[in-house]
């Protein structure tokens, strides 16, 4: 904390921004992000879109796992529900995206509620495996319900439209994704300043104590499942609109593991952490691909080794991060910030 | 009826290997409190090392097998020392994640060395089937199930009667008390990891031998063992054995009777549905210790 930075009221204590400067910087960042499509190439726009979608889903998972303490391996399944709901609602029913995206989110929230019911009795690892069951049930449904999901061949999704303008390419859908991401992040950040958010954290810290203090534990666990699944469902919906074709191959169990990696590396119980983690884990394979391409120019056999190379580096990064920075990137960021705030007199 | 018996028999064969790998899970969980998601990769790595030694270095199978076990024991100790020990005291989700990271590393290493293609595994079992009642049964099945049964017996006796086994149970009961009785908890952790690595490698070799081929998909077997362990109860060795057999039979019956109706895939999903149903009645598995929480 800075010298002379006294908080004199509860409102001040709860404020998101410590000083006016971050507010201004955040404004600049937003303007920069809005201006970015004018400069970025299609490839990097695609990467950016995927990063933003990952941020939404990682925030959702962090609400469940980081803030409420319920470990979930069902992220890939919930993404799939959001994606296929979009394919059905936009493709078959022909609804506009302003209706489809919230509906896809709501539907995923409903599915999340159903799969959250075991949390009434299950805790910790047992609950994690129950969500793994959710993954396999959804995967089974998706591959077998051919009339709606197109089975293993996948299904195409029409482009989102604003009036007569189709948001077909990465440049146009970028703005839709950006706006939704900012809105959802804003909501999540504020959620934890309300009674509901504080109840989530109480359940995570010690659910019996929370119950003693009058928090209806089961209700809030289910609510956490619903809110989290809503976020992931919206992310899945955007994924469908961006990729334009989805198949069961888009949602393997490894996706759920990647997302778990994002929230843990980024920082459990931190919105900023979800952002850091999502950016890092989505960028990592892209950077590795660039490195591998550069390597392959001199040493052609590197080309075939890309997949194992990626897997090894991903594993190493996770292991090293957990050993050396177990609280995640968000904690490191706070350390750095505090160091420079007081520099050079750190005591 | 014959179809039913055939399915049950296949279920027992797969299930016995489930039990063996589940034993590895339970040994680690009981003594160190970690659920090791890299167990499937241990299986795969063990099978590949054994294959490499026999095919590429032309060792006789027995020698290759023993070398593989030695290698896996060392790998288990190294994993504990380098990766898990710095993580002591971290929340359970970090422990899960670190084993997931380890599994990604092992998968990558195996892929880099041996590639993705299905490779034939040497015939370690005689090929001709024997007649068991009305059913012809391949000898591989019998040998595999028999060796698993033998191993499980050996381990049960080990935990009951040997000094190391009793020390392991003491550590699982309470690390502090074990320490004060002069047991080196660090050594017990190392032992638990090497036992787990060795039994999963044996499971991997048996599975590859029964199937007659080996590819990276073997690692998914580890993911399928997780419902087995949860069904039996994470900290119960008896539960691991029962859970393995139940799951093995269950998935084969589901595959045999439901797959023609629903068009495939029932084998993967049925065990999970049954698992969740059982967990809602018994939240700590069939034989798991019920945790009584105090605030």
pLDDT tens readout for residues B189-248: 999 999 999 999 999 998 888 888 888 888 888 888 888 888 888 888 888 889 999 999
For residue A2, the model assigns a pLDDT of 61
Please tell me the predicted confidence (pLDDT) of residue A346: 67
* A147–B contact, CB cutoff 8 A: no
Residue of B86, B263, B283 lying closest to A121 (CB–CB): B283
Look at chain B and count its residues.
295
pLDDT of res. A347:
61
Decide if B226 and A129 are in contact by the 8 Å CB cutoff: yes
Chain B residues whose beta carbon lies within 8 Å of the beta carbon of residue A253: 223
- For the ranges A47-51, A294-298, B92-96, B130-134, the maximum mean pLDDT occurs at A47-51
Interface predicted TM-score of the whole assembly (ipTM), two decimals: 0.86
A315: nearest CB among B101, B262, B284: B101
CA atoms within 13 A on the CB side of B123: 6
Q: Is residue B32 part of a domain?
A: yes
**Count of H helices and E strands in chain A?**
15, 4
Residue A24 lies in a domain: no
Tens-level pLDDT at each residue, chain A (347 residues)? 566 667 788 877 777 777 778 889 999 999 998 888 888 888 899 999 999 999 999 999 999 999 999 999 999 999 999 999 999 998 888 888 889 999 999 999 999 999 998 888 888 888 888 899 999 999 989 888 888 888 788 888 888 887 777 777 888 889 999 999 999 999 999 999 899 999 999 999 988 999 999 999 999 999 999 999 999 999 999 999 998 889 988 999 889 999 999 999 999 989 999 999 999 999 998 988 888 888 888 877 767 778 888 889 989 988 998 898 888 899 888 888 888 877 777 66
Strands (E), chain B: 119-120, 130-132, 135-137, 213-214
> Could you say which residues from 155 to 174 on chain A have a Cβ atom under 8 Å away from some Cβ of chain B?
none
Predicted confidence at residue A47, as pLDDT, reads 92
Contact A316 B279 (CB under 8 A): no
Distances (CA, A) of B260 to B147, B225, B276: 33, 25, 24
- CA angle at B40 for the pair B38 and B44, rounded to the nearest 5°: 115
Place of tokens 């999340």: A112
Question: Hey, is the C-beta of A226 within 8 angstroms of any chain B C-beta?
Answer: no
d(CA B110, CA B116): 9
Establish whether the linkage from the previous residue to A344 is cis, with ω within 30° of 0. Answer: yes
In whole angstroms, give the CA distance from residue B227 to residue A343. 52
Chain A residues with CB under 8 Å of B96 CB are: 71, 125, 128, 260
Query: Is residue B249 in a domain?
Result: no
pLDDT score for B7: 87
- b/e for B51-83, b at 16 or more Cβ within 10 A? bbbbeeeebeeeebbebbbebbbebbbebbeeb
- In tens, the pLDDT along B3-22 reads 888 888 888 888 888 888 89
Q: Model's pTM, two decimal places?
A: 0.90
Question: Is A14 a member of any domain?
Answer: no
Contacts 24+ apart (CB under 8 A), A193-202: A193/A14, A193/A16, A196/A220, A196/A223, A197/A67, A200/A63, A200/A67, A200/A68, A200/A224, A201/A67, A201/A68, A201/A269
Closest residue to B276, CB basis, from A118, A253, A318: A118
* Token pair 């014959």 in the structure block, residue: B2
Q: For residue A183, how many other CB atoms are within 10 A of its CB? A: 12
Number of inter-chain CB pairs under 8 A, A vs B: 140
Q: What is the mean pLDDT of residues B72-101?
A: 89
| A28 located within any domain | no
Which helix (H) or strand (E) covers residue A165, if one does? strand A165-167
* pLDDT value at residue B120: 84
Q: Count up the domains in chain B and report the number.
A: 1
Residues pairing with A165 in the sheet: A162
CB contact under 8 A, B111 and A133: no
CA distances from A124 to A112, B106, B139 (A): 17, 26, 41
pLDDT of residue A289: 86
Sign of torsion, CA B123 B125 B130 B134? negative
Give a yes or no: residue A246 inside a domain.
yes
**Residue of B100, B101, B295 with shortest CB distance to A209:** B295
* Cβ pair A307:B111 closer than 8 A: yes
Question: How close is the nearest chain B Cα to the Cα of A343, in Å?
Answer: 31
A307 CB within 8 Å of a chain B CB: yes
- Closest residue of B to A124, CA-based? B92
CATH of the domain at A100: 1.10.3470
Which CA distances in Å does B109 have to A52, B63, B97, B102, B112?
31, 23, 18, 11, 5
Determine, yes or no, domain membership for B100: yes
- CB-side neighbour CA atoms (13 Å) of A18: 10
Cα distances (angstroms) measured from residue A95 to each of A85, A99, A249: 11, 7, 25
Which domain does B204 fall in, by range?
Answer: 17-122+136-238
Task: For residue A271, give both structure tokens.
Answer: 């919105």
Work out how many domains chain A is built from and give that number. 1
Whole-angstrom distance, CA of residue B220 vs CA of residue A168: 37
What is the reported pLDDT for B218? 83
Query: Does residue A75 fall inside a structural domain?
Result: yes
Whether residues B103 and A315 touch (CB distance < 8 A) is answered with yes
List chain B residues with CB under 8 Å of A136: 268-269, 272
Position A30 in a domain? no
Q: Which class for B240: exposed (0-12), middle (13-18), buried (19 or more C-beta within 10 A)?
A: buried
- Mean pLDDT, residues B35-49 taken together: 91
Output the pLDDT for position B260.
79
Residue A275, domain extent: 42-342
Q: How distant is the alpha carbon of residue B217 from its chain centre?
A: 15
What does residue A53 show for φ and ψ, rounded to 5 degrees? -65, -40
Q: What is the mean pLDDT of residues B261-265?
A: 74
pLDDT at B127 over 90: no
Provide the pLDDT for residue A4. 64
Taking contacts as CB-CB distances below 8 angstroms, the residues of chain B near A328 are none
Residue B9 lies in a domain: no
């Amino acid at each position: 904390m800075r010298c002379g930075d006294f908080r004199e009221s509860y409102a001040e204590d709860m404020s998101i921004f410590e000083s006016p400067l971050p507010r201004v910087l955040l404004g600049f960042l937003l303007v920069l992000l809005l201006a970015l499509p004018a400069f970025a190439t299609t490839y990097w726009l695609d990467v950016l879109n995927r990063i933003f979608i990952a941020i939404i889903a990682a925030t959702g998972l962090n609400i469940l796992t980081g803030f409420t303490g319920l470990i979930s391996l069902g992220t890939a399944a919930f993404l799939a529900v959001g994606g296929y709901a979009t394919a059905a609602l936009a493709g078959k029913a022909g609804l506009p995206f302003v209706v489809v995206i919230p509906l896809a989110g709501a539907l995923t929230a409903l599915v999340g509620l159903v799969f959250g019911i075991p949390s009434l009795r299950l805790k910790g690892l047992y609950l994690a495996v129950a969500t793994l069951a959710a993954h396999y049930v959804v995967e089974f449904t998706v591959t077998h319900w051919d009339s709606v999901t197109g089975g293993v061949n996948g299904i195409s999704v029409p482009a989102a439209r604003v009036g007569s303008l189709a948001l077909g390419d990465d440049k146009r859908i970028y703005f839709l994704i950006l706006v939704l991401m900012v809105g959802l992040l804003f909501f999540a950040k504020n959620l934890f300043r309300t009674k509901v958010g504080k109840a989530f954290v109480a359940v995570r810290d010690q659910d019996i104590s929370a119950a003693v203090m009058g928090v209806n534990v089961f209700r809030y666990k289910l609510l956490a499942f619903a809110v989290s699944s809503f976020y992931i469902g919206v992310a899945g919906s955007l994924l469908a609109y961006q990729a334009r074709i989805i198949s069961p191959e888009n949602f393997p169990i490894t996706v759920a593991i990647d997302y778990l990696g994002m929230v843990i590396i980024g920082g459990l119980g931190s919105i900023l952490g979800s952002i850091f983690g999502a950016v890092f884990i989505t960028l990592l394979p892209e950077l590795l691909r660039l490195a591998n391409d550069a390597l392959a120019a001199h040493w052609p056999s590197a080309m075939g080794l890309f997949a194992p190379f990626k897997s090894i580096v991903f594993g190493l990064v996770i292991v090293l991060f957990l050993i050396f920075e177990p609280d995640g990137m968000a904690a490191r960021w706070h350390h750095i910030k505090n160091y420079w705030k007081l520099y050079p007199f750190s005591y | 009826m014959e179809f039913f018996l055939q399915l049950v028999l296949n279920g027992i064969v797969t299930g016995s290997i489930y039990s063996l790998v589940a034993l590895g899970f339970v040994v680690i969980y009981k003594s160190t409190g970690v659920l090791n998601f890299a167990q499937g990769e241990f299986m795969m790595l063990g099978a590949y090392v054994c294959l490499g030694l026999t095919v590429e270095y032309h060792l006789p199978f027995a020698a290759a097998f023993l070398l593989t076990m030695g290698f896996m024991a060392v790998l288990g100790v190294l994993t504990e020392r380098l990766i898990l020990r710095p993580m002591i005291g971290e929340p359970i989700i970090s422990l899960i994640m670190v084993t997931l990271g380890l599994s990604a590393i092992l998968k990558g290493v195996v892929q880099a060395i041996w590639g993705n293609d299905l490779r034939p595994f040497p015939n370690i079992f005689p090929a001709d089937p024997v007649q068991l009642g009305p059913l012809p049964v391949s000898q591989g099945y019998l040998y595999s199930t028999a060796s698993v049964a033998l191993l499980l017996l050996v381990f049960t006796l080990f935990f009951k009667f040997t000094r190391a086994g009793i020390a392991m149970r003491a550590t699982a009961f309470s690390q502090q008390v074990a320490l004060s009785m002069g047991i080196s908890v660090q050594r017990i952790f190392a032992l638990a990891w090497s036992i787990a690595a060795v039994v999963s490698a044996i499971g991997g070799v048996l599975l590859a031998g029964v199937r007659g081929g080996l590819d990276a998909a073997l690692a998914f077997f580890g993911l399928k063992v997780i419902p087995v362990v949860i069904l039996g109860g994470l900290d119960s060795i008896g539960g691991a054995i029962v859970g393995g057999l139940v799951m093995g039979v269950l998935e084969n019956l589901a595959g045999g009777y439901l797959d023609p109706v629903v068009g495939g895939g029932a084998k993967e999903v049925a065990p999970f549905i049954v698992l969740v149903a059982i967990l809602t009645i018994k939240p700590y598995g069939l034989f798991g210790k019920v945790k009584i929480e105090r605030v």
